[in-house]
Chains A and B, each alone.
Chain A
Amino acid sequence: MSAHAEHDHHGPAEYTYQPHPFGLGAVPLGLVIFLASEIALFGSFFLYYAHSRTILEYEWPQPGFHIPADATSINTAILVASSFTCEMVLLAIAKARRSAAIAWMVLTILLGSVFLGLQAIEYQTIGFLPTTNAMGATFFSLTGLHGAHVFLGLLLLTFCLIRLVRGHFSKERMTGLVVIGIYWHFVDVVWVILFTVVYLLPTHVI
């Protein structure tokens, strides 16, 4: 029977008879499996994109349109930074520094919100719509799907912030934070891939 100090105490009691792979508790393990299906969901849009660009030799970006890689690279840096600040929350909790953890959490939420805000501004200034052409549809659905994930992540981080302020987390009881952390890193990694594929790969590369 594996010893699990950091069980999630909000859910039903966990009965675990077998050692967990990678030492993940049942909830983080479930989340990791769920994220595999999220990869597949993004994958379906990437598949459409790849089909367009390789087999149909679809020009990207379409002539006369511009996808602003320079401006968005700043946004990418912001989101990547938020992944580190999110990890700082966990470190602070592990060292029992609650106020530091709250500060890092607030910073993470702020960085995530700035990312979403800049993304919204980009949508307004980019010069095409989801309905303009297949490039617009692909661009907006990929970035929009990711944006929805960031938004959900921000909500989850806010819920965690509330619990953090109320002192519900400790070194022994931080499954909720661990889970949100994994999710937030996932959103970050997806963005890095998305940024590379959608913004940085101009037509002549493929």
Chain B
Amino acid sequence: MNVFLRPNLARCLWVAPLTALIVMCLTLALRHLFGMTPIFDSEQMITVGYLGGVIGFLIGIGAFDTWFPWMLGAAERPDDHSAHGARSWRDYFRFNTDHMVIGVQYIATTLILFLVAGMFAEIFRAELAHPGQDFITTSAYNGLMSQHGIIMLLGFLIPIFAGIGNFVIPLMLGAPDMAFPRLNALSFWLLPLAGLIFLSAFLVGSFESGWTAYPPFSTRGPMGETIFELGVQIGGASSIATAVNFLVTIITMRAPGMTLFRMPLLVWANLATSALVVAATPFIAGSQFMNMFDRVIGTPFFEPDLGGNTLAYQHVFWFYSHPAVYIMVLPGFGIISEVISVMARKPIFGYRAIAFSSAGIAILGFSVWAHHMFASGMEPWLRVPMMITTMLIAIPTGIKIFSWLGTLWQGVLQMTTAMLFATGFIFTFVIGGVTGIWLASVPFTYHVHDTYFVVAHFHYVLFGGSVMTVFAGLYFWYPKVFGRHMSESLGRLHFWSTFIFTNLTFFPMHWLGLEGMPRRVADYDPSYANWNLFISISAFCLGAGMLLFVYNLLHSARHGKPSGSNPFGAMTLEWLVSSPPPIFNFDVPPRIVGGPYGYGIEGARHAMFPEPAPAETREQAHA
């Protein structure tokens, strides 16, 4: 069949524009029918055009090739699994239903978005190196800053954990794949679309309201705001679909004997995260729907003259976006638990405490949202309860930190790159956590609200926290994906440059914030100049360190040291199959006979395979 007719990216090239065009014409026809003037409304056109394009892209890539015939009552076809597994690099650009391929697709896409958004940060740090307007306009600064925020959060941190989870979790559970492989592929392909949608906003004037998109900035801003709202919807849909998939997989597809308390802690973390995503993400969808209706239809949700209220937006938005910060870090906690236990050669300290603290964070996370609004003029009686719950949430987090330290205590530490990142994470995350407690207290927040202190705080928890865990996870599971190690010497260099320059970049921001330098500004008082120059130089070095990582990542896939199936002597299931794992993971379901962290315990076993040995079965099956 012609390349433009088969389900692939080439088919997207014509189906997506065509669908967009059809939907736009339909909208024009409807406006004409209802006698609306003028017939052409650019905000509406861009909205329906993008949505049509997204649907067309999904049709083109082949997301609905099975579902459409089913809907229309075609006879059921047994799945031939032809869309499963990757035989060449081309298979990574298809609608692939294999959880390992999707995991790699996720990680590659998110890392590209990470580099793009990091680049934006370097550009506006260059602008901020010196007071006064140097080479980008304030509008361009706002655009870059907003893109940096939303792409890092929705395009990198949330989905990369979905990517790592996608690769690892079915293996850890002893399952052949995720529960809904087609839904899994669909939710992946929404992600590059969300990234492209955000970036395309530059064509019409990027959104400039930060990643929070508070009205009236968002309702009265340039057309990029509408595109921002669409991107959030697409990215949110992707993350909800993945979360549903993870939950069903974890609940129903654990191998025989895998009780809840024999699950690795990454699975626990993902369980809590997925529950959070399902319950919280629709609130950002709702808040962006309201924003979009205000812009596209002209509803007065946030127009005070007509009874609207902008604080309502902040309530709805933060009802998602505070739980979202736990969505961005809980899977990272899971990764750290895995890495630390394996590398310290000790059973994890306080397994159940860590597992329940994830659940505790997920539940408490819903009761703290208004701490973002202490200075907003919100109802005063909400402040103190929110302050108390916010401080309470430090307890489950502290339990985790102490459990990790307890695991490290008297362990036989193997300081691999993954372990360096894990220990570095504990250091930086604690700093971010402590400033979090400060910010939770109302009087202190009044002083530093919307200053660089807040920027320092959340970069310590998100960059020093989540991104470090991402690196720990990538270095740790890289041998499982490619069967080769990443270079340890480059990895160490990458770690030390990241660790040092993270602190040099973000720590001085605390002082700037305490002195009152506001965030989200393209220019500042010359008295802040010295530290800003210092921060910018550190930020450039931090960015340069990332190039090492990219080189290491790409180069080691071909030329890395072969690792064998279980280089770190780990016990969890993913290490008991070959590297890279065979298609469908296990030919016979493994039997789980003990906890996942029995390191250093005589005779401890997590899993065993019923005879014959899995390697032989695999050869027979795929001969």
Which residues of A does B touch, CB under 8 Å?
1, 9-18, 20-21, 26-27, 29-30, 33-34, 36-38, 40-41, 43-45, 47-48, 51-52, 55-56, 58, 62, 130-138, 140-141, 159, 162-163, 165-166, 168
Contact = CB atoms under 8 A, between A and B. Distances in A.
Given A38-B282, A134-B308, A48 B316 contact: yes
Nearest to B255: A17
Interface of B: 66, 70-73, 76, 79, 97, 174-177, 179-183, 240, 243-245, 247-248, 251-256, 258, 278-283, 285-287, 289-290, 293, 297-301, 303, 306-309, 311-312, 315-316, 319-320, 379, 589
A134 B301 CA distance: 5
Given A47-B316, A141-B290, A168 B278 contact: no
A170 B76 CA distance: 14
22 contacts: A12-B177, A12-B180, A17-B174, A17-B253, A17-B258, A18-B252, A18-B253, A43-B282, A43-B286, A44-B287, A44-B319, A45-B289, A48-B290, A51-B312, A56-B309, A58-B307, A131-B298, A132-B306, A133-B306, A134-B309, A136-B299, A141-B299
A118 B311 CA distance: 35
A26 B252 contact: yes
B316 A44 contact: yes
B244 A37 contact: yes
Given A11-B180, A141-B290, A168-B76, A134 B306 contact: yes
A43 B97 contact: no
Contact of B293 (A29, A38, A130, A166): A130
Contacts of A44: 282-283, 285-287, 289, 316, 319-320
Contacts of B319: 44, 47
A168 to B, nearest CB: 7
A31 to B, nearest CB: 9
A37 B508 CA distance: 40
B279 A40 contact: yes
Contacts of B71: 159
Contact of A12 (B182, B251, B278, B315): B182
A20 B179 CA distance: 13
Contact of A37 (B256, B279, B589): B279
Contacts of B320: 44
B180 A30 contact: yes
B252 A137 contact: no
Given A37-B278, A52-B307, 13 more contacts: A40-B280, A41-B283, A45-B289, A48-B290, A51-B309, A55-B379, A133-B300, A134-B308, A134-B309, A137-B299, A141-B293, A159-B71, A159-B72
A40 B285 CA distance: 10
Nearest to A44: B286
Closest 3 CB pairs of A and B: A44-B286, A134-B307, A41-B282
Nearest to B257: A17
Which of B254, B280, B282: most chain A CB closer than 10 A?
B282
A163 to B, nearest CB: 5
B73 A166 contact: yes
Nearest to A51: B312
Nearest to A13: B79
Contacts of A62: 307
A14 B178 CA distance: 10
A45 B253 CA distance: 35
Contacts of A163: 73
Contact of A20 (B177, B181, B251, B312): B251
Given A17-B174, A44-B287, A55-B379, A137 B293 contact: yes
Which of A12, A14, A135: most chain B CB closer than 10 A?
A12
A34 B320 CA distance: 16
A136 B298 CA distance: 11
B387 to A, nearest CB: 19
A182 B70 CA distance: 19
Contacts of A43: 282-283, 286
Given A37-B282, A44-B287, A56-B309, A12 B73 contact: no
B254 A18 contact: yes
Nearest to A132: B306
A13 to B, nearest CB: 7
A134 B282 contact: no
Contact of B309 (A17, A21, A52, A162): A52
Which of B240, B252, B307: most chain A CB closer than 10 A?
B252
A40 B324 CA distance: 14
Contacts of A166: 73
A61 to B, nearest CB: 11
Nearest to A46: B286
A11 B186 CA distance: 14
Nearest to A45: B286
Given A13-B79, A44-B287, A137 B244 contact: no
Contact of B252 (A20, A133, A162): A20
A1 B174 CA distance: 14
Contacts of A30: 179-180, 183, 244-245, 247-248
A135 B299 CA distance: 10
A17 B254 contact: yes
A47 B312 CA distance: 8
Given A137-B293, A137-B301, A11 B283 contact: no
Contacts of A34: 240, 244, 278
B76 A29 contact: no
Contacts of A130: 293, 297-299
